[in-house]
Amino acid sequence: MSDVRTLDVSALPPGAFGSRTVTFWGTLGIVVIESTVFALAIGAYVYLVSRFPAWPPHGVAAPELRWGTLNTLILLGSLLPNELARRAGEHVDLGRVRIWMVVCLVFAMAFNIVRAFEFAHLNVMWDHDAYGSIVWLLLGLHTTHIVTDFLDSGVLTALMFTGPIEEHRFVDIEENAVYWYFVVLAWLPIYGVIYWAPRLL
């Protein structure tokens, strides 16, 4: 016991949602890092374009639009269950969280499967030339993200069924949604580069 001026924080809540949490800033850090990776890979793509008179070089056909565009729609579509899961998390509604997380996982399975078709229909192999290499690298980088997104969302969803579930877990649901948004939105410029640059340049 002592006579000291004090700032009593005992009434503060044991956590919070949104940008107030440390995990939000951690996720933001990952987003910055990965955005930089994507931007640099796109930069490398643009650099290689400048080195060739025709693009794609050597008369290679552009990647087939069908699969990439389909996957873009699936990815964009997944933002709906993602947002609903996020809100359910913020409202601490376990029932809804479970439903929408499972729907998200179904979308994730779909866009991972369609991604395999995208690779098969790029019309160029990674070891054909620098164009093939950069296209596979760009698509491969994004694929790492949709795979990890699927896996970590899967683990989180499993946890929401098996437990133990405390109130904090709902913050994790919200943070997961932020990362999901990044993965989908980062795809848009990459889609533009892979599928449309060869057609428009």
Partner 1 sequence: MTRRVDLPNGDSLEETWADPKGLYGWFTHVDHKSIGRRYLVTAFAFFLLGGALAALMRLQLSRPDNTILGPDLYNQIFTTHGSTMMFLFAVPVMQGLGIYFVPLMVGARSIAFPRLVAFSYWMLLFGGTFLYVSFLLGAGPDVGWFSYPPLAESLYTPSKRADVWAQLITFTEVGSLAVAVSLITTTLKLRAPGMTLNRIPIFVWAQVVTSFMVLFAMPAVMLASTALILDRLVGTHFFDVEHAGDALLWQHMFWFFGHPEVYIIFIPGTGIVSTIITTFSQRRMFGYLAVVLSLVSTAFMGFGLWVHHMFATGLPQLGESFFTAASIIIAIPTGTQVFCWIATMWSGRLSVRIPMLWILGFFTIFIAGGLTGVMLAAVPLNTQVHDTFFVVAHFHYVLIGGAVFPLFAAFYYWYPKITGRVLSERLGTWVFGLFFVGFNLTFFPMHILGLHGMPRRVYTYPAAMGWGTLNLLASAGAAFMACAVVIFVLDAIRALAAEMAAAPNPWNAGTLEWATSSPPPNSNFPRLPTVAGREPIWENPPDQPVVVGLRADARDVLLTHVLDAEPDHRLLFPDPSIWPFLTAIAATVLFIWSIFTPWGVVYGAVPAFVTMVGWFWPKSPNEGGTPLWPLAHRTLPRPNEAPAAGGAI
Which residues make up the interface to partner 1 (CB under 8 A)?
Answer: 1-22, 25-26, 29-30, 32-34, 36-37, 40-41, 44, 47-48, 51-52, 57-58, 90, 92, 94, 126-134, 136-137, 151, 155, 159, 163-171
E strands of 16-139, at which residues? Answer: none
Integer Cα distance of 58 and 25 in angstroms: 45
Q: State in angstroms the smallest separation of the CB of 36 from partner 1.
A: 4
- Residue number, 86 or 114, with CB nearest to partner 1: 86
Q: State in angstroms the smallest separation of the CB of 82 from partner 1.
A: 17
Closest CA to 121 of 76, 192, 61, 41: 61
- Residue number, 27 or 71, with CB nearest to partner 1: 27
Q: State in angstroms the smallest separation of the CB of 73 from partner 1.
A: 28
- Residue number, 72 or 132, with CB nearest to partner 1: 132
Q: State in angstroms the smallest separation of the CB of 41 from partner 1.
A: 6
Distances 179 to 28, 152, 183 between C-alpha atoms, Å: 8, 10, 6
Three-class DSSP category at 200 = helix
Q: State in angstroms the smallest separation of the CB of 71 from partner 1.
A: 22
- Contact of 170 with 98, CB cutoff 8 Å: no
- Residue number, 74 or 136, with CB nearest to partner 1: 136
- Residue number, 47 or 65, with CB nearest to partner 1: 47
- Contact of 34 with 144, CB cutoff 8 Å: no
First and final C-alpha spacing in the chain? 76
